[in-house]
Structure 1
Amino acid sequence: MTSMDYGNLAYLVLLGSVLVFWFFVQNRQSLNKTLQHGAAWGLIFLGVIAAVGLWGDIRQTVLPQQMVLDETGRIEVPRSPDGHYYLTLDINSEPIRFVVDTGATGMVLTLDDAMRIGLSEEDLIFYSEAMTANGPVRTAPVRLDDVALGPFRDQSVRAFVNEGEMSKSLLGMDYLNRFNRLEISGGRLILER
């Protein structure tokens, strides 16, 4: 913390102390009731702080997960609260989370995800171009040695690495067409081979 942060903290503590002192002076006749209310509000405040601090963990727990039904060769994915479907594929034994994009042709990796699976920037040659909603972006075609979704494994899968900014990698129809059945029904994405 900087000296400015310490000054701000001291000011807030002093202000809070004055407000608490004023509150107790105003309510000195019913001090027991005031302490009860103060304790209740203190617990509510601590609960809110705990929820904000643990929000990432809570969100991971309540996010819909993909369900693999091995016996039938079927994968069901519930729609996430943001309206999209997400699949986690193991690429070169590294889990990569994709947003399913039936409007995209190919599998498109972010630069960060490409680095995570072992591709280096020196290996990427951005000579192709893709049209996006934000205009054209340069892409580097690559071959992924090993791609697994649950029990389904594919080798030498064609993909692209996007040079532009993307928040998530995209899973397009080139990969989804490897499945015999692709259905979106009742808030679920169903894939079968």
Structure 2
Amino acid sequence: MNGDDFGQAIYLVVLGCAIAFWFFVENRQGLGKTLRQMSAWVLIFIGVIAAIGLWGDIRQTVRPQQSVFAESGRIELPRAPDGHYYVTLDLNGVPVRFVVDTGASAMVLTRADAERAGLSLGELAYFSEAMTANGLVRTAPVTLDTVAVGPFTDARVPAYVNEGEMDKSLLGMSYLQRFDRIEIAGGKLVLER
């Protein structure tokens, strides 16, 4: 601490003491009530400072984000609070959020996500079927021009559009097998090429 810092610290201490002295003199009739209110404001101030300091951890817990390490060819997907792993892929240049489903054999799009990716729903032919947890559903095979995540871009990727209702698109094994390594450890799903 140099001389300027020491002088500023003394100034702030003296100023704080003067304000505290004025505060207690002005409120000497209800000193107990004043101390309770002051304690409440000090705790609120400490809580705000703690929340600001921990915001990165809080945000990662509430809404975890995928991390892309392009130089090492690795993508890390944190486990979401619901226990699933989510990844955002660019389909034909449009970001689409998928739930990673190692039990699904293919990439399956909701109709809304397919439309956002530029596929015409009116031209889809639902002639194939898939067995899901909700029973048998009809699907339409499609080919996506590009699928990109981080530094990886794949062309002419086969997928299906589900005719039934789905909350999220599913990223199944037909796409996941493009990675050399898939590992789940420490609350993260790691994909490497």
TM-score normalized with structure 1 length: 0.69
Q: What is the CA-CA distance between 1:123 and the residue it aligns to?
A: 1.8
How far apart are the structure 2 equivalents of 1:108 and 1:96? 12
**Residue 100 of structure 1: aligned partner:** 100
**Residue 178 of structure 2: aligned partner:** 178
Identify if the C-alpha distance between structure 1 residues 162 and 117 changes in structure 2 by more than 3 Å, giving closer, same or farther: same
Q: How does 1:135-154 map to 2 (within 5 A)?
A: 135-154=135-154
How far apart are the structure 1 equivalents of 2:92 and 2:142? 13
Identify if the C-alpha distance between structure 1 residues 190 and 61 changes in structure 2 by more than 3 Å, giving closer, same or farther: closer
Q: Deviations over 1:124-172 (max 9, x none)?
A: 1000000011110000000000000111000000100000000000000
TM-score normalized with structure 2 length: 0.69
Identify if the C-alpha distance between structure 1 residues 60 and 186 changes in structure 2 by more than 3 Å, giving closer, same or farther: closer
Aligned: 1:162 with 2:162: yes
**Residue 187 of structure 2: aligned partner:** 187
Q: Which residue identity is paired with 1:184?
A: I
Q: Which residue identity is paired with 1:174?
A: S
**Residue 54 of structure 1: aligned partner:** none
**Residue 119 of structure 2: aligned partner:** 119
Assess if the C-alpha contact under 8 Å between 2:62 and 2:81 holds in 1.
no
- Between 1:58-67 and 1:145-154, the stretch displaced more is 58-67
How far apart are the structure 1 equivalents of 2:101 and 2:61? 24
Q: Which residue identity is paired with 1:101?
A: D
**Residue 5 of structure 1: aligned partner:** none
Q: Which residue identity is paired with 1:113?
A: D
Runs of 4+ in 1 over 6 A off after TM superposition: 58-61
Could you tell me which runs of 5 or more consecutive residues in structure 1 were left unpaired when the two chains were aligned.
1-32, 41-57
How far apart are the structure 2 equivalents of 1:135 and 1:61? 33
Aligned length: 142
Q: What is the CA-CA distance between 1:95 and the residue it aligns to?
A: 0.1
Q: State, as a whole percentage, how many aligned pairs show the same letter.
A: 70
**Residue 63 of structure 1: aligned partner:** 63
Assess if the C-alpha contact under 8 Å between 2:92 and 2:146 holds in 1.
yes
Q: What is the CA-CA distance between 1:59 and the residue it aligns to?
A: 7.4
* SS of alignment partner, residue 160 of structure 1: strand
Assess if the C-alpha contact under 8 Å between 2:61 and 2:81 holds in 1.
no
Q: How does 1:70-85 map to 2 (within 5 A)?
A: 70-85=70-85
Q: What is the CA-CA distance between 1:62 and the residue it aligns to?
A: 3.5
**Residue 88 of structure 1: aligned partner:** 88
Could you tell me which runs of 5 or more consecutive residues in structure 2 were left unpaired when the two chains were aligned.
1-32, 41-57
How far apart are the structure 2 equivalents of 1:60 and 1:69? 17
Identify if the C-alpha distance between structure 1 residues 117 and 131 changes in structure 2 by more than 3 Å, giving closer, same or farther: same
